[in-house]
Amino acid sequence: MTDQPSPNRRGRPTRAQVSAKALADIDPSKVDPWMILRTIASDASAPAAARVSACRALIDNERGEGDNAGGSSRINERAVALMRRAN
């Protein structure tokens, strides 16, 4: 986080600041994206589109199709890169 004043009114933190604070204690190399997808797919309170997308990604991974054909290591690398960019 930076010490620059927030562009939001009343000093509320920006989305980037909130994300950086929330992810500060998380080790990106230990994140399992497939577990996250399983959690989203089984969460009845999640939006239907998110659940369907999570299910499709899991099915594609089992079949070795789609963007996930490289296996879980490729997905883990992508997740780590995205989390590092957020910090």
- Cα separation, 65 vs 44, whole angstroms: 26
Phi, psi of 43 (to 5 degrees): -85, 110
Q: Find the mean pLDDT for residues 19-40.
A: 86
Distance CA 40, CA 4 (A): 35
Q: Hey, where are the domains in the chain?
A: 32-87
Q: What pLDDT, on a 0 to 100 scale, did the predictor assign at position 45?
A: 94
Query: pLDDT digits over 54-78, tens only?
Result: 998 888 888 776 554 555 677 777 7
Please report the pLDDT score of residue 72 as a whole number.
Answer: 65
Mean pLDDT to the nearest integer, 29-52: 90
